[in-house]
Amino acid sequence: MATESSSHNLTRTKTALVTGASSGIGYAVVKELAHHGFTVYACARREEVLRDLAAQFPKGNVIPYALDITNITEIVQLKEYLATHLPQQCLDVLYNNAGQSCCLPAVDLTDEILTRLFRVNVIGHMDMTTQLAQLVINAKGTILFTGSLAGLTMFPFGASYAATKAAIHQYARVLHGEMKIFDVRVINAVTGGVDTEIADKGALPRTSLFHFKEGLVAFEERKRMVEKSQPMSADKYAHELVADILSSRDPLDVYRGSWATVVSWLMLLAPYWLVEWILFKKFKLDSLHAAVRRRARGNKQD
């Protein structure tokens, strides 16, 4: 009987679930997994985009599923749906990729912004993992997260986004150790520059401490960070990440996207004061600092 079961497992079509699948990295990873023979559940809020994605493949290869990961009720409903559709209750890949960016000075963040950001970038992924973990365990599969260089270093005007990514990095580290007991791999993709639409295009609030000439220049420089860093295409990123999924390695952290490896080594080897000095120069914070000092001196003279 055991032999028959093992043989059946070998012929089972592998399955994957990708959140944030309507654009960017998620969209590209869905395509790459489907090209490798996976049946992929593509999840996002914009179901019409998912249907267009599914239409690029033979029927049943990519299955669109409307999902808001900030809604625990919808996640539980997804779990119930998968329980009736997955072969042998097995999910080989759970890719927690959905995300939201935020580019604002740390002291300009509102409770509403913070709550939404952590629900999308952290709590939603934790809820997905909790609800679907048994399906991945059944498959002895892989759980992945889209981490970020922002979770490792000091990118100005990105404190909230950085905090969410640092939280995911640490969550993945602990989960890696716990899931190893069940022969499940956990991969945290520490992501550098990738050509996607995630960048925050919002304006600096007029009430901001940084709303003056040099502050606005620095803020705009920060918003153009990815486009000026020769970002990797989402398709190339997906190709490399799916290779990580298909490999037998268990690395925890993989570094994907432009500058990912360089910055990770810089953070490991350089003292923090040097890292901060480099980033001050890159994002024109030194000019901003000088302007603030000039204003302070002018106020004293008055």
Report the catalytic residues. 22, 161, 165
Q: What angle do CA 55, 59, 65 make, to 5 degrees?
A: 70
Cα(149)–Cα(129) distance, integer angstroms: 22
The four Cα atoms 97, 192, 174, 120 give a dihedral, to 10 degrees, of: -40
Per the listing, tokens 């990519």 go with 62
Under the phi-then-psi rule, with left for phi > 0, alpha for psi from -120 to 50, and beta for the rest, what region is 24?
Answer: left
